[in-house]
Amino acid sequence: MAAVSSVPPRRRDLRALLVIPGALWLLAFAVAPLAILFAMSFWTSSIFGTTTDLTLDNYRVIADDPIYFQVLLQTLRIALTVTALSLLVGYPMAYFLASLRGPKRGVFLVLLFLPFWSSYVVRTFVWLPMLGRNGLVNAVLLQLGIISEPLDWLLYNEGATHIGLVYVYTLFMTLPLYLSLDRIDRNLIDAAADLGAGPFRAFFRVVFPLSMPGVLSGCVMVFLLACGAYVTPQLLGGTSGMMFGNVIAPQYTVTNNWALGAALSVILVIVVFLCLVIFGRRVRLNDIFIGG
């Protein structure tokens, strides 16, 4: 991006017109739906359907019932914890991949990708037989004699939501981390060592700062995905591991209160975009995705 903008336009180039079909498509199917959602959050839903009568009632309902605010806070907390956990789990893994040479690296990269070539519905579902009452974890613990009765609390709580989300999104953290670690010039690390930096100092003063683009883009990606999660908390979270998505969806699938659902969605979008703006002050949005 930066390179493009720094080149002064020589003449009006008609090839820029090539963006028109894509731009029109996005206006019709990305911008317009978002605009309608925003408008609908001020409309009125009743048992007879949704009408365009303007009202602030939807937001009033949300403000009056503390449960919405609580779930929103819980969602942000879970998303942040999942982001931090993913970073902790993913960083050594990315470091490992970047340290490999030759065909070994290709093999382990493919091994990392392989599970993500399946739908995240499947990737979430696999944790039911892992953590369930007659699941693998219980079977192993029983076998080892550590417990005498199967544990019931492994599933359907916040912990299960965390495990599921870290599992489902770990590629989105590990991959940008790996890409940025791979780009680091090894001479810099050798130089740090030659100048007397021990391994830890060299890591925290040289490697980690240089991998910041990957850290940021991985964190933003996982945070975004986790904020909009629905499947994982729905399948694994029970009532205590509930997230905002599980409050929005029933407005459409159960109560048919489209206007309230729209207001809740608008709130989630605004909160997520605010978080992005805060991040965006430190790193340019485009670089997060393109620059990994």
Give residues 151-170 in contact with other proteins (rule: CB under 8 A).
167, 170
Question: For 57-72, b where at least 16 C-beta lie within 10 A, e where not — what string?
Answer: bbbeebeeeeebeebb
Identify the residue among 72, 181, 215, 219 touching other proteins (CB under 8 A): 181
Residues 95-154 touching other proteins, rule: CB under 8 A, are 95-96, 98-101, 108, 111-115, 117-122, 125-130, 132-136, 139
CA distances from 121 to 57, 157, 207 (A): 35, 18, 36
40: CB partners within 8 A, 6+ apart? 50, 258, 259, 262
Tell me how far, at minimum, the Cβ of 194 lies from other proteins, in Å: 7
Tell me how far, at minimum, the Cβ of 6 lies from other proteins, in Å: 10
Q: 232 by DSSP, 3-state: which?
A: helix
Specify whether the CB–CB gap between 223 and 210 falls below 8 A.
Answer: no
Output the six-digit token pair for 266.
């608008």
CA distances from 64 to 50, 70, 75, 257 (A): 21, 12, 19, 17
Residues 188-247 touching other proteins, rule: CB under 8 A, are 189-190, 192-199, 202-203, 206-207, 224-225, 227-231, 235, 244-245
* 85 near other proteins, rule: CB under 8 A: no
Q: 44 by DSSP, 3-state: which?
A: strand
Residues in binding contact with other proteins, number by CB under 8 A: 108
* 76 near other proteins, rule: CB under 8 A: no
The stretch near other proteins (CB under 8 A) out of 20-28, 59-67, 80-88, 154-162 is 20-28
The stretch near other proteins (CB under 8 A) out of 55-63, 66-74, 151-159, 181-189 is 181-189
- Residue placing its CB nearer to other proteins in the complex, 115 or 159: 115
210: CB partners within 8 A, 6+ apart? 180, 184, 188
Tell me how far, at minimum, the Cβ of 128 lies from other proteins, in Å: 7
- Residue placing its CB nearer to other proteins in the complex, 23 or 63: 23
Tell me how far, at minimum, the Cβ of 59 lies from other proteins, in Å: 16
